[in-house]
């Protein structure tokens, strides 16, 4: 299968080129030329299949022209080493827990798939691949841990100074080896802009093989559709319609849900829930799409003012804005509302993290306005990852999973970086 650029559907490349390049040379996002629709009978069988078996079927539909069956199995087995349970929180309200991976956020799914696929597609004698990632927190840790010690790949992580949680920071600044962290004096969008500038710089691209492991890369984005299929197959529906609420920042996760829907999964509606970085909810309510500077919030992994995956959302609905606005409902919440949700849901016996809390709120508002649904919100990170915020909200200490506590012991090593492109370019030029 080929992949085209959302800026120019005539620019088509192979899977390998789309994955290794990350971003199209015209700054567009790669998009599959054809979205396979799974037979209804197959999707019905998913309820009797395990997560990996569902993974083989879905990935086979997307990648069978480009990868062997053995490669597909290897890829899925490497990715799905942990579960994504659907947990009941309230009547007809379920949490899809995506934080059971090594770095305790949903980004482990995409990062593990991406690192494995890149190493499959990258020949032994090829140039070193330099993976550039901008992170608002969780991408950095998932990508660093997914790519740690992968041969032929070096990872350079750009993160906004003082704007990611201590635990997040520890997960990607303490590893060393093939992982380098750049502490950028700016916000997330500055990091993302630096990375995009590097991809579009002709001199750098002659010298270095640069790629991305942000959700702009199809190898990060596409595998995220797997847990929608899995969750749907496990969800008690009682004949009701299904809505998924996705706490969103760069909108890769929502785009993956819509991909699952396009592949035939009977998701009736989506909720796009954000913090006050609300350009997409504003758009969904009728405004033009207008990027804004990002604002810092307690759900910091969603502090994105210029969401990269917006063009993909539109392409998935055939660039039909009315259809997009009909299928996806936008809601946004401030920090006070987020904290309040964490406190209220704790009383029901469930601990939310600040991002899941935003999803929970969006789902609740949607379900109040639209009766007759069973709803799932994506719990995108373990509450312990945002310990300060959650402990502050609850007034009690959280127990940290051992694999999270372990990171706290490492020593932080970073290279400070300004937000001007010249300095970053100089750093990259001196790599070889
Ligand atoms: C990255 C992240 C999000 C936002 O996901 P997008 O795909 O960028 O919309 C939400 N919650 C957590 C915990 C994250 O790490």
CATH code that applies to domain 108-216+409-429: 3.40.50.1100
What's the pLDDT score for residue 125?
A: 67
For residue 147, the tally of other CB atoms under 10 A from its CB is 27
- Alpha-carbon distance values, 2 to 75, 114, 211, 262, 355 (Å): 19, 18, 18, 18, 34
- Alpha-carbon distance values, 413 to 47, 129, 158, 183 (Å): 46, 22, 13, 10
Question: What is the DSSP code string of 103-148?
Answer: TSBTHHHHHHHHHHHHHHHS-TTSPPEEEEEE-SSHHHHHHHHHHT
Secondary structure of the chain: what % helix, strand, coil (to 5)? 45, 20, 35
Q: Would the CATH topology of 83-106+221-394 be identical to that of 108-216+409-429?
A: yes
What's the pLDDT score for residue 38?
A: 98
Separation CA 119–CA 20 (nearest Å): 10
User: What confidence tens digit (pLDDT) does each residue in 279-317 have?
Assistant: 999 999 999 999 999 899 999 999 999 999 999 999 999
Do residues 28 and 311 touch, judged by C-beta distance below 8 A? yes
What's the pLDDT score for residue 90?
A: 96
Q: Is 396 exposed, middle or buried (0-12, 13-18, 19+ CB in 10 A)?
A: exposed
pLDDT band at residue 168 under the 50/70/90 scheme: confident
pLDDT(127) > 90 = no
Separation CA 131–CA 115 (nearest Å): 10
Separation CA 280–CA 417 (nearest Å): 30
Average pLDDT over residues 390-413: 89
Cα 45 to its chain centre, rounded Å, is 27
For residue 431, the tally of other CB atoms under 10 A from its CB is 13
Residue ranges covered by each domain of the chain:
83-106+221-394, 108-216+409-429
- Residues in Cβ contact with 362 at an 8 Å cutoff, skipping those fewer than 6 apart: 245, 247, 271, 272, 273, 329, 331, 333, 377
- Alpha-carbon distance values, 419 to 134, 184, 189 (Å): 12, 6, 10
Average pLDDT over residues 47-51: 98
Give, using CA atoms, the residue closest to atom 15 of ligand 1. 138
Buried b (16+ CB within 10 A) or exposed e, 255-289: bbbbbbbbbbbebebbbbbbbbbbbbbbbbeeeee
- Alpha-carbon distance values, 384 to 23, 171, 215, 291 (Å): 33, 13, 24, 31
User: What confidence tens digit (pLDDT) does each residue in 128-144 have?
Assistant: 999 999 998 889 999 99
Separation CA 177–CA 150 (nearest Å): 10
Pocket test for ligand 1, best of 302, 377, 389 (most atoms within 8 A of CB): 302
- Is ligand 1 within 6 A of the CB of residue 384? no
Separation CA 408–CA 171 (nearest Å): 8
| Residue in this structure with the two tokens 């109040």, named with its chain if needed | 368
- Is ligand 1 within 6 A of the CB of residue 354? no
- Alpha-carbon distance values, 408 to 300, 399, 401, 412 (Å): 19, 14, 12, 9
pLDDT(400) > 90 = no
Q: Is 87 exposed, middle or buried (0-12, 13-18, 19+ CB in 10 A)?
A: exposed
What's the pLDDT score for residue 401?
A: 87
User: What confidence tens digit (pLDDT) does each residue in 243-276 have?
Assistant: 999 999 999 999 999 999 999 999 999 999 999 9
- Spacing, Cα 301 to ligand 1 middle (Å): 6
**CATH 3.40.50.150 is right for the domain spanning 83-106+221-394:** no
What's the pLDDT score for residue 124?
A: 67
- Spacing, Cα 216 to ligand 1 middle (Å): 13
Q: Mean pLDDT for the chain?
A: 94
Do residues 144 and 286 touch, judged by C-beta distance below 8 A? no
Average pLDDT over residues 7-17: 94
What's the pLDDT score for residue 166?
A: 85
Give, using CA atoms, the residue closest to atom 2 of ligand 1. 301
pLDDT(337) > 90 = yes
Cα 380 to its chain centre, rounded Å, is 9
- Alpha-carbon distance values, 32 to 79, 219, 259, 349 (Å): 21, 11, 10, 42
Backbone angles phi, psi at 339, to 5 degrees: -60, -45
Average pLDDT over residues 70-77: 97
Average pLDDT over residues 116-121: 91
pLDDT(357) > 70 = yes
pLDDT band at residue 407 under the 50/70/90 scheme: confident
User: What confidence tens digit (pLDDT) does each residue in 360-381 have?
Assistant: 999 999 999 999 999 999 999 9
Give, using CA atoms, the residue closest to atom 1 of ligand 1. 301
Ligand 1 atom with least separation from CA of 99:
13
| Residue in this structure with the two tokens 């920090």, named with its chain if needed | 335
């Amino acid at each position: 299968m080929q992949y085209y650029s959302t800026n120019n559907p005539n620019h088509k490349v192979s899977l390998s080129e789309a994955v290794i390049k990350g971003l199209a040379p015209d700054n567009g996002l790669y998009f599959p030329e054809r979205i396979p629709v799974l037979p209804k009978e197959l999707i019905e069988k998913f309820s009797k299949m395990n997560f990996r078996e569902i993974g083989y079927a879905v990935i086979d539909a997307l990648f069978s022209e480009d990868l062997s069956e053995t490669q597909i199995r290897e890829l899925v087995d490497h990715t799905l080493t942990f579960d994504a349970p659907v947990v009941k929180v309230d009547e007809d309200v379920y949490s899809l827990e995506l934080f059971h991976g090594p770095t305790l956020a949903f980004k482990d799914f995409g990062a593990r798939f991406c690192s494995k696929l890149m190493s499959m597609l990258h020949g032994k004698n090829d140039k070193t691949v330099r993976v550039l990632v901008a992170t608002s927190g969780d991408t950095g840790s998932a990508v660093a841990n997914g790519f740690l010690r992968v041969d032929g790949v070096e990872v350079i992580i750009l993160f906004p100074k003082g704007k990611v949680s201590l635990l997040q920071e520890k997960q990607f600044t303490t590893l060393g080896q093939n992982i380098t962290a750049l502490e950028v004096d700016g916000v997330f969008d500055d990091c993302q802009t630096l990375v995009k500038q590097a991809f579009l710089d002709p001199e750098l691209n002659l010298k270095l093989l640069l790629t991305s492991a942000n959700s702009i890369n199809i190898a990060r984005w596409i595998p995220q559709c797997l847990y929608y299929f899995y969750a749907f197959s496990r969800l008690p529906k009682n004949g009701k319609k299904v809505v998924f609420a996705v706490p969103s920042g760069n909108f890769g996760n929502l785009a993956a849900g819509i991909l699952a829907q396009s592949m035939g999964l009977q998701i009736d509606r989506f909720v796009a829930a954000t913090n006050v970085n609300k350009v997409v909810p504003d758009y969904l309510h009728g405004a033009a799409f207008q990027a804004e500077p990002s604002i810092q919030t307690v759900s910091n992994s969603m502090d994105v003012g210029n969401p990269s995956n917006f063009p993909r959302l539109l392409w998935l609905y055939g660039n039909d804005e009315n259809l997009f606005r009909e299928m996806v409902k936008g809601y946004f919440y401030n920090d006070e509302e987020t904290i309040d949700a964490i406190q209220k849901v704790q009383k029901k016996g469930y601990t939310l993290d600040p991002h899941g809390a935003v999803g929970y709120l969006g789902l609740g508002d949607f379900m109040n306005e639209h009766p007759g649904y069973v709803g799932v919100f994506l719990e995108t990170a373990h509450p312990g990852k945002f310990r300060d915020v959650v402990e502050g909200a609850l007034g009690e200490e959280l127990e940290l999973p051992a694999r999270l506590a372990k990171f706290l012991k490492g020593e932080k090593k970073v290279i400070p970086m300004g937000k001007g492109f010249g300095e970053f370019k100089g750093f990259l030029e001196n790599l070889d």
